[in-house]
Amino acid sequence: MRHVIDQAAAWQRSGTRCVMATVVRAWGSAPHGPGTSMLVAEDGRIVGSVSGGCVEAAVVAAAEEVFAGGPPVVERWGVGDEDAFAVGLTCGGTIQVLIREVRAEVPLDRVSADLAAGVPVALVTPADGVGALAVGGGTVNGSLGDPAVDRAAALAAEGMLGRGESGPLTVGEGRADGPGGVAPDCVPERRLLVQSFAVRPRLMIFGASEFARPLAEFGAALGYRVTVCDARPSFADARRFPAADEVVRDLPDRWFRAHEHLVDASTAVCVLTHDHRYDLPVLTLALRSDAGYVGAMGSRRTHEDRSARLLAAGVSEAELARLCSPIGLDLGGRGPEETALSVLAEVVAVRRGGGGLPLTAGTGPVHRT
Closest CA to 102 of 195, 8, 196: 8
Instruction: Assess contact for 156 and 181: CB atoms under 8 A.
Output: yes
What single-letter amino acid sits at 45? R
The phi-psi region of residue 332 (left if phi > 0; otherwise alpha if psi is between -120 and 50; otherwise beta) is: left
d(CA 73, CA 100): 7
Q: How far is CA 234 from CA 140, 237, 247, 276, 279, in A?
A: 45, 6, 12, 19, 18
What single-letter amino acid sits at 349? A
Closest CA to 329 of 317, 321, 320, 338: 338
Helix axes 335-352, 212-221, angle to 10 degrees: 40
> For residue range 149-204, what is the model confidence (pLDDT) as tens digits?
999 999 999 988 888 788 889 988 654 444 555 544 567 788 899 999 887 889 99
Say whether pLDDT at 308 is over 90: yes
Compute the C-alpha angle 118/182/369, nearest 5°. Answer: 60
- pLDDT bin (cut points 50, 70, 90) of residue 112 is very high
Main-chain dihedrals φ then ψ at residue 264, nearest 5 degrees? -140, -170
pTM of structure: 0.66
- pLDDT bin (cut points 50, 70, 90) of residue 88 is very low
Task: Work out the mean pLDDT of the chain and round it to a whole number.
Answer: 87
Q: How far is CA 24 from CA 167, 216, 248, 331, in A?
A: 5, 32, 40, 36
Look at the alpha carbons of 58, 166, 18, 154 in this order and tell me if their dihedral is positive or negative: positive
H or E segment and range at residue 286: helix 276-287
d(CA 109, CA 152): 23
Domain residue spans of the chain: 2-101, 108-197, 202-352
Q: Can you give the pLDDT at residue 85?
A: 46
H or E segment and range at residue 96: strand 94-101
Q: How far is CA 272 from CA 142, 178, 325, 328, in A?
A: 46, 44, 11, 12
Q: Minimum mean pLDDT among 51-60, 91-100, 113-122, 174-183: which range?
A: 174-183
Tally of CB atoms within 10 A around 334: 8
Closest CA to 350 of 303, 296, 291, 300: 291
Fold of 202-352: Rossmann fold (3.40.50)
> For residue range 240-290, what is the model confidence (pLDDT) as tens digits?
999 999 999 999 999 999 999 999 998 999 999 888 899 999 999 999 999
